[in-house]
Amino acid sequence: MQSFDTNGPFQQNYKFLIGSILPRPIAVVSTINEDGTNNVAPFSFFTAVSASPMIIAFSPMIKSSNGEMKDTPRNILREKEFVVNFVHEDIIDQINLASTELPYGEDEFKFSGLTPIDSEIVKAKRIKESLIHFECKFRDRLSYGDDPGCGQIITGEVVKIHVDESLLDSGRIVTDIYRPVGRGAGNDWILCDHRIERERLMKAQIQK
C-alpha cells in the first residue's frame, strides 16, 4: 500500500477524495443572483442528513481559479433559500454545461439550455427537465477556511418536494424509471443501470 500525508497541496487530497468517495450523488443547485437573474450549478459533495426535519447538505469549495466563493453559496447566504434539482441520464450534457464558471450574474440556465420554472415557496427557479426538485430554506453553514479548495457545509431544510408522476409506483420512486446518475473521478459520470439487491438481516431474522 502507498500512504500519503494530507498536509500538501489541496489538489492531491482532492484527487483521493473524488477517486475514493464514489459514485457521488449530484445536487444541481439553483439560486437567484443579486439582480434577480438565475444561477444554477451541480455539486457532488452532497448528501442526505435528516429525515425529520428533512435536511440535505452540500459543499461548494472556494474556487481554485481565483480564490473566491462560488456564486451558489454567495446567493444562498444572501437569499437564505435554494432549490436542489436531480439529474437523470437524459440531461447529463446540459448539467455538465451548467458547471461552467461564468462571471457572476450570467445565467447558466440560458447557457446550458435548461428551462427555469417557478417554485411554489422559494424564489429560486426549478429545472423543468429535472424529474425531482427539493425547495430548500437555508439552515446552517460550517466553513473550513477561505483558501482555494477549502470546503464549507451548507445545509438546507427541504420545505417542498416535487416528483414527476412517471417515476412513482405506490408512492415510491422507481430507480429504473428515474435513471439517476452519479459523479465519479475526474470527468466520469456513473449510470445506475446495474443494481443488485440484498435483504438486510434485521434482529428479528437473526433470532429465528
What is the contact surface with ligand FMN in residues (CB under 6 A)? Answer: 26, 39, 41-45, 59-61, 70-72, 96, 99-101, 183
Q: Could you please report the per-residue DSSP string of 54-119?
A: EEEEE-PPPPTTTSPPPHHHHHHHHH-EEEEE--BGGGHHHHHHHTS-PPTT--HHHHHT--EE--
Output the smallest distance, CB 194 to ligand FMN, in A. 20
Between residues 5 and 75, which has the closer beta carbon with respect to ligand FMN?
75
Output the smallest distance, CB 15 to ligand FMN, in A. 14
Between residues 59 and 85, which has the closer beta carbon with respect to ligand FMN?
59
Between residues 13 and 96, which has the closer beta carbon with respect to ligand FMN?
96
**DSSP bridge pairs for 29:** 41, 84
Output the smallest distance, CB 95 to ligand FMN, in A. 7
Which set of grid coordinates corresponds to residue 95?
448539467
Between residues 79 and 101, which has the closer beta carbon with respect to ligand FMN?
101
d(CA 90, CA 176): 13
CA 68-70-75 angle, 5° bins? 120
Output the smallest distance, CB 41 to ligand FMN, in A. 3
